[in-house]
Structure 1
Amino acid sequence: MDVSQALQQRRSVRAFLPQTPSALLVRTVLERAACAASGGNLQPWRVVALTGEALAQVLQAAAQSNPQEYANSLSYPPNLWEPYRTRRFANGEDLYRTLGIPREDKAARLQQLAKNAQFFGAPVGIFICIDERMGLPQWMDVGIYLQSLMLQATESGLATCAQGFWRKYTEVLREPLALPQPYTIACGVALGYEDTAAPINALEAGRAPFDEWAVMRGF
């Protein structure tokens, strides 16, 4: 598989098989992703990968908490504007449509949303963290690492789902993750083998046309 194929095949998968990838395979994915570009070679990411009892303990700690969502943990800006509001709305509607959940069924939608806190059943949960003293350029470096991780996972036959959901759990999970101050969770990543029979994995998010977001001059 080449890079173009990995880019085209990578999707946010929200249902996984119970089979756990080997420790060697997970380490290989995480380690190769560290070839990601990093300004000044700071490599500002800190990664915690969990499975089995270690993952179960973290999920239990999260389930027993009531985390507060602060401004720096929000997944989207408040009062999202166009065209981003429409894109987000359409994505949400498409996702629930794969599950046959109508808009008025709030309980079912909340039940699906709660699966974020279980890494969507993935056998491996990954927390990508960053020192809070870092600036926006270093957050961009972490984003490059994240994309590299997901593409490497795709090449390795694994599926992923990046989750900003976990940012609000930094203080709740600081002790179970042995996360020193002043590190914060940048995002979580569900990792495992895709359950191809799950209806929700039929979702394929569209992309805006090139001319909507790009300009080329002088070519």
Structure 2
Amino acid sequence: MKMNRLSQPPLPPGLLSEAVDWAITSRRSIRAFLPTPVPVQVIEEILNVARFCATGVNMQPWHVHVVTGKVKDDLSRAIAHVDNDPSMSTQLADAYEYYPRKWTAPFIDRRRKVGWELYGLLGIEKGDKQRMHEQHGRNYRFFDASVGLIFTMSRVLQEGSLLDYGMFLQNVMTAARGRGLDTCPQAAFLKYHQVISDVLKIPSDQMLVCGMSLGYADETRAENTLVTEREPVSAFTTFHHNNKETTA
């Protein structure tokens, strides 16, 4: 599909804004998928759209590994083998520091809230470490989605390229919504970057950025009813006008 970046909008302004806003706001982290396959053509369409995100001096730092079928199953088994063995998993470190070294409010509060809301939907009680581990381990099966995406970038790049990458990932998820698909971006894979590199034969000069599940949501599953809260604009915006600061 050839993209014309100077073409006119396909919808009237009102409908266009509704469609774009819907694709963005309806995106949620889905944690249970149907086994329904996603055609390769659709995956290519999504990536074809996503590549048009902003990127500093047009560096385009992304590289995508699409895993399906036996390769996806092999990758999931390889990670689970290590994840289920504390003697191996505790020796590993994330590919880079995604989360803060020291959690403080309000970030720790938001993290705890979404965690306990998810566990509550699944009937996992506080202190049930085995069920927590099992639920977390579903990450490595891509939550049973038919498609797994592994994102890498060159190690010569710096933190700024992660900003570009975030915009690329958002485009992937938004384009997926426009095609009736759902996603779950996953930092959980960072700890197993070496296992992933070994299975997929990713060169050592490539750094793992994250993984992502892609497919059709299983709407019957309780975990997919989770809708996380977002702070209002007034909580994170300051307008500067006439030398005076005002909030939204």
TM-score range, shorter chain: over 0.9
Aligned with residue 170 of structure 1, among 189, 193, 200: 193
2:26 maps to 9
What displacement does 1:72 show? Answer: 4.5
Q: Is the 8 A contact 1:167 1:184 kept in 2?
A: no
Q: Is the 8 A contact 1:128 1:188 kept in 2?
A: yes
Partner SS, residue 138 of structure 2: helix
Partner SS, residue 6 of structure 1: helix
1:210 maps to 233
Q: Is the 8 A contact 2:94 2:191 kept in 1?
A: no
Counterparts of residues 27-42 of structure 1 (less than 5 Å): 27-42=44-59
1:131 maps to 154
What displacement does 1:73 show? Answer: 3.6
Give % identity: 32
Distance 1:156 1:166, change over 3 A: same
Q: What is the distance in 1 between the residues matched to 2:94 and 2:199?
A: 23
In structure 2, the gaps of 5 or more residues are: 1-17, 83-87, 243-248
Q: What is the distance in 1 between the residues matched to 2:24 and 2:43?
A: 19
**Aligned-CA RMSD value:** 1.6
Q: Is the 8 A contact 1:21 1:192 kept in 2?
A: yes
Distance 1:196 1:164, change over 3 A: same
1:149 maps to 172
Q: Is the 8 A contact 2:80 2:140 kept in 1?
A: yes
**Which structure exhibits the higher relative contact order, with contacts defined as CA atoms closer than 8 Å and separated by 6 or more residues?**
1
Partner SS, residue 4 of structure 1: helix
What displacement does 1:27 show? Answer: 1.2
What displacement does 1:148 show? Answer: 0.5
TM score, norm. by length of structure 1: 0.94
Partner SS, residue 90 of structure 1: helix
Counterparts of residues 96-111 of structure 1 (less than 5 Å): 96-111=119-134
What displacement does 1:74 show? Answer: 4.2
TM score, norm. by length of structure 2: 0.84
Q: Is the 8 A contact 2:23 2:177 kept in 1?
A: yes
Q: Is the 8 A contact 1:169 1:185 kept in 2?
A: no
Aligned with residue 52 of structure 1, among 69, 85, 109: 69
